[in-house]
Amino acid sequence: MAGAAVVAAVAVATLTGCSFRIEEASCGGGEYPVLAVNSGGSDCVPDGEEPAQGCARYPEGKVPEKVGDKWDTYWSTHTLDENGEIIELPEGG
């Protein structure tokens, strides 16, 4: 039923000339995002589990919620070093 609602919304937006954007969550329900230490990249970890070696939780208040949001964009050019300090990724990250 939800799929039909999305199709209907897209059809209405197309016919009326309205534009709308479907925002994709950074992680699914029951997961939280983590980033790779000293390199680019991210992953999702099940709630209640710790990040794998080489990954870290995002700093509080700087966690991406949606693909393309402020923090998702920021972390595409930054990461954390092994001391938890924010560093800029080298070009080509």
pLDDT at 72 over 70: yes
Which of helix, strand or coil describes residue 45? strand
Mean pLDDT (whole number) for 77-91:
94
pLDDT at 69 over 80: yes
What's the whole-number average pLDDT of the chain?
A: 83
Whether residue 56 contacts residue 37, with contact meaning beta carbons closer than 8 Å, is answered with: yes
